[in-house]
Structure 1
Amino acid sequence: MARIESILYTVCRIGVGVSFFVLIVTVLTQVFGRTFGSSPIWTEELTRFSMLYMVAFGAGLSLRSGDLVNVDVVCENLGGRWPRRLRLVAAAVTAVLCAYLLPHAWKYVSIGAMQTSPAMTLRMDFVHFAVFGLLLTLFVFSAFRVAGMLFAGRDGKADPREDLD
């Protein structure tokens, strides 16, 4: 399980990096275009699309590292095993909610196959897939947390380490 989590962690980090690189190049193209004439119209769309994918790849990583919004002030000040129980419940509820939303997100993706973006004429299912990807990464990383807590004796706290090895 740790090996699969490590591979997914690496894929998501690369995805965030590539999305951020595309965002930087696109914004620089906009800036230079506006400075020396007019900016290409496709830069507006590509900026939005790259931000969507950056969030989709980064959501699971944020859950894993503890960078998502949390109520640690309340949970961690409780006594006994309550903080661990609440972390388990929060991860399980996140996984269940994402699992419930995944089929609906896939329907949203499939609707996008009938649409294209105005400036880039890109099929919108490629863009809408970011929403599905966000839910999928959140589901997988929260499921890893639940499995680690139930079967590997982990405490369920955020893991800010660079890798799992």
Structure 2
Amino acid sequence: MAQMIRWMRAFLRLGTGISFLVLIVAVTVQVVSRSFVGGSPVWTEELTRFALLYLAGFGTGMALFTGDLVNVDLFSEGLPGRGPWVLRLVSAALVLVFCVLTIGPALRFTQIGAMQTSPAMGLRMDWVHGSVLLLLTMLALAAALRIIGMVTGATDGRPENLIGEIE
């Protein structure tokens, strides 16, 4: 289980990094072109938006692992006994249920994009709409791995990077 979580984190970090790199390149081309050429290529605007969508798609699942999603730790971690563990488990289960319920509509949304193209790049929009499907799938997988890890005892469900903790 721990190995699977490590692979998932590595995949999400790689996807997030590539998305961020594409975003950096597109914005750099925009800034340099506007500063020295007089205008930037039209495709940079679209590519920037698409990179942001994929950044969110990969980054949201990663944020569940790292603790960068919104948490109510002040309340939950202050509970006695197994209360915090139970709340972390219920929270992960609710995230999983929500994602599973919305993956079907996201798939339909993605399929509709096959009939459309982006105006500047001519990219089929199912590649763009797929970022929503990616986000829900990665978040569902991260939540499922957290649940399995908690139930099997491989993890206590706490995020990796709790602010203020001493290592």
When normalised by structure 1's length, the TM-score is 0.93
**Alignment root-mean-square deviation, CA:** 1.3
Letter in 1 for 2:112: I
Structure 2: gaps spanning 5 or more residues: 163-167
Letter in 1 for 2:47: L
Question: Secondary structure at the residue paired with 1:154?
Answer: coil
More deviation, 76-85/111-120:
76-85
1:1-165 aligned at under 5 Å gives the runs 1-35=1-35, 36-152=37-153, 154-160=155-161
CA–CA distance in 2 between the matches of 1:39 and 1:49? 17
Identity of aligned residues (%): 49
Question: Secondary structure at the residue paired with 1:156?
Answer: coil
More deviation, 151-160/87-96:
151-160
Q: CA deviation at 1:11?
A: 1.3
Letter in 1 for 2:74: V
More deviation, 86-95/31-40:
31-40
CA–CA distance in 2 between the matches of 1:2 and 1:76? 23
CA–CA distance in 1 between the matches of 2:5 and 2:150? 14
What per-residue deviation string (whole Å, max 9, x for no partner) do you get for residues 77-112 of structure 1?
111111111111000110111011111110010000
CA–CA distance in 1 between the matches of 2:86 and 2:20? 36
More deviation, 110-119/151-160:
151-160
CA–CA distance in 2 between the matches of 1:2 and 1:99? 23
Q: CA deviation at 1:4?
A: 2.3
4+ aligned runs moved over 6 Å, structure 1: none
CA contact (8 A) 2:100 2:140 kept: yes
Structure 1: gaps spanning 5 or more residues: none
